[in-house]
Amino acid sequence: MRAILGLIVLGLAAAALYFLVINPTEQATMTGEETATEEAVASEDIADMEQDEMSATDMAAEDDPNIWLEEVLGDEALDWVRARNDETFADIKADPRYEGFYEEALEVYTSQDRIVSGEPRDGFLYNFWQDEAHVRGIWRRSPLDAYLAGTPAWDVILDLDALGAEEDQNWVWDGADCLRGSSRCLIAMSHGGSDANFVREFDMETRTFVEGGFYLDEAKQGAVWVNEDLVLVRTDWGEGTMSSSGYPLNVGLWSRGQPIDDVAPIFEGAETDTFAFAGSSETPEGSYNVIYRGVSFFEFEYFLVAEDGTLTQLPAPHLSDMSGFHKGQIIFGLNEEWTVETTQGERTFASGSVVSYSVDDLLDDGTLDAVHTLFVPEDRVAFQSAAPSGGALYLSLLDNVAGRVLRATFDNGWTMEDVDLPGNGRVGISATDDMEDSVFYTYENFLIPDSLYYSQNGSTPNQVQSLPEWFDTEGLVARQEIAVSADGERIPYFIVHRADIEYDGSTPTILYGYGGFQISMRPSYSGNVGRLWLANGGAYAVANIRGGGEFGPEWHQAALHGNRQRAFDDFIAIQEHLIETGVTSPEHLGIMGGSNGGLLVGASMTQRPDLTNAVVCQVPLLDMLRYHLLLAGASWIGEYGDPEIPEQREYIAEYSPYQNLDPDADYPRAFFYTSTRDDRVHPGHARKMVARMIQQGHDVQYFERIEGGHSGGANLAQSAERVALEYVYLTRQLMD
Active site residues: 595, 710
Q: Output the pLDDT for position 715.
A: 66
Calculate Rg over the CA atoms of the chain. Answer: 25
Distance CA 672, CA 725 (A): 11
Contact yes or no for 360/343 (Cβ under 8 A): no
With a CB cutoff of 8 Å and minimum separation 6, the contacts of 415 are 408, 409
H-helix or E-strand containing 492?
Answer: strand 490-498
Q: Output the pLDDT for position 8.
A: 37
Q: Output the pLDDT for position 3.
A: 40
Residue ranges of the chain assigned to CATH 3.40.50.1820: 43-108+470-621+672-734
Q: Output the pLDDT for position 63.
A: 83
Compute the half-sphere exposure of residue 520: CA atoms within 13 Å on the CB side of its CA.
Answer: 29
Whole-model pTM over 0.75 = yes
H-helix or E-strand containing 125?
Answer: strand 124-131
In this structure, the strands spanning 354-358 and 372-375 are antiparallel
CA 586 to chain centre: 30
What are the two backbone dihedrals, phi and then psi, of residue 27, each rounded to the nearest 5 degrees?
-120, 170
CATH code, residues 114-314: 2.130.10.120
Q: Note the residue count of the chain.
A: 736
639: amino acid identity, one letter: E
Residues of the chain with pLDDT under 50: 1, 3-57, 711-714
Q: Does domain 43-108+470-621+672-734 have CATH number 3.90.550.10?
A: no
**Number of helices and strands in the chain (H, E):** 15, 39
Q: Output the pLDDT for position 651.
A: 97
With a CB cutoff of 8 Å and minimum separation 6, the contacts of 575 are 511, 589, 591, 604, 608, 611, 612
Residue ranges of the chain assigned to CATH 2.130.10.120: 114-314
